[in-house]
Amino acid sequence: MIVHEFLRWIETAPAGHRAEAAHALARAFLYSEVDDDTRSGMEAAMTVLLDDSSVDVRFALADALGSSPEAPRHVLLTLAADQIDIAALVLSRSPIFLDAELVDIVAGAADTLQIAIAGRPLVSGGVSAAIAEVGEMATCRTLLENSGAEIARISLKRIAERFGDDPDMRDILLSRPELPADIRQMLIRRLGDTLGALVTAKSWMGDGQAETLTREACDRATVAIAAETESEELVPLVEHLRVTGQLTTALLLRALCAGNVRFFEAALAVLSGMPEGRVASLVRAGRANALQAVYARAGLPMVAFDAFIAALETCKRMAERGGPSDRYRFTREMVENVLSRYHDITDGEVNELMTMLRRFAADQAREAARDYARMATAA
């Protein structure tokens, strides 16, 4: 009887009063103890209110029902198709929506609704994947900043591919401590390409010089990333570098000269198609003949093989002495040994690898000097 009177009353009541009544009705439906007939009548009344001409009335329903799993499903679905501010309120809160429904909405919705979904308290991996694929930049940013979002590796990579050139998006991605190494390297390379294009456009240096400096800066960053990467993440990083054409002999030698034997082992495994454990055993055994077969199978240039052997031998000798006393001495001894061996097999020809190694040694000397200066200042 009370519901019937309510329905008669709303036909003539002012919009503001109807909105207040709609909110109170929805709250009573959710939290009052009433009999089944009364509850059914309440649900019918809320269904009628979905056709109310006042936006305030429908917004009041959305506000009262939006967060509850007990809200009538058909009411929430109708509100989700209402005006954008009403739909966003419901989509940002309601737990009644299935992932498939949210994915469909993301695919065809306006930015505001995409953002509402990306900011939900919990976002599943499937919904995150849809947002990563078709969401606008602001939507993907909201998703990345949502601690309740489950974002798979492939979704992070897709966002990086689509928006990695934007400085803010790049910073947000790089600030994620769990960001996979291959995605981190991709973003660093995109940044390097952007800076290289800027240098060329400003005519600060020639195309060739800018390309060389950009490539070497990217290689330095890649080696640093590889050094901080867990063993299980090295193969995906190497595979990414291989597919993008960055897994060069110079990069591998630079990494090995920095003492990163694990990265070299992972690269040999990927390039040769052999199990990583088997390759690691061969590398650490120090048998040059057996390692040469794997090296050749990996397609690396034989002219550089002795340089890699010299680097491996130096790493092993340093380890037997208890590790390097400091980075500069390690690098100097490493590069001197490699250049000596490499000089012998190339008849003194100054080539790209030797030039890279000399620059690498100079870079490491500068970094060691900066470390020393920082420690001296702190002391």
pLDDT tens for the chain, 379 residues: list them: 477 788 788 888 899 999 999 999 999 999 988 888 888 999 999 999 999 999 999 999 999 999 999 999 999 999 999 999 999 999 999 999 999 999 999 998 889 999 999 999 999 999 999 999 999 999 999 999 999 999 999 999 999 999 999 999 999 999 998 899 999 999 988 887 766 565 555 555 556 565 666 677 788 888 889 888 888 899 999 999 999 999 988 889 888 888 899 999 999 999 999 999 999 998 888 788 888 999 999 999 888 888 888 888 888 887 777 655 566 677 777 777 777 766 655 544 446 677 777 777 777 667 767 766 777 677 6
**pTM of the model as a whole:** 0.75
Tokens linked to 201: 């456009």
Domain ranges of the chain: 180-247, 248-368
Query: Crossing angle for the helix pair 352-378 and 327-346, nearest 10 degrees?
Result: 170
Using an 8 Å Cβ cutoff, are 341 and 312 in contact?
A: no
**Is the Cα torsion angle 142, 148, 150, 154 positive or negative in sign?**
positive
Using an 8 Å Cβ cutoff, are 64 and 29 in contact?
A: no
Single-letter amino acid code for the residue at 142: T
Using an 8 Å Cβ cutoff, are 342 and 372 in contact?
A: no
How many residues does the structure list for the chain? 379
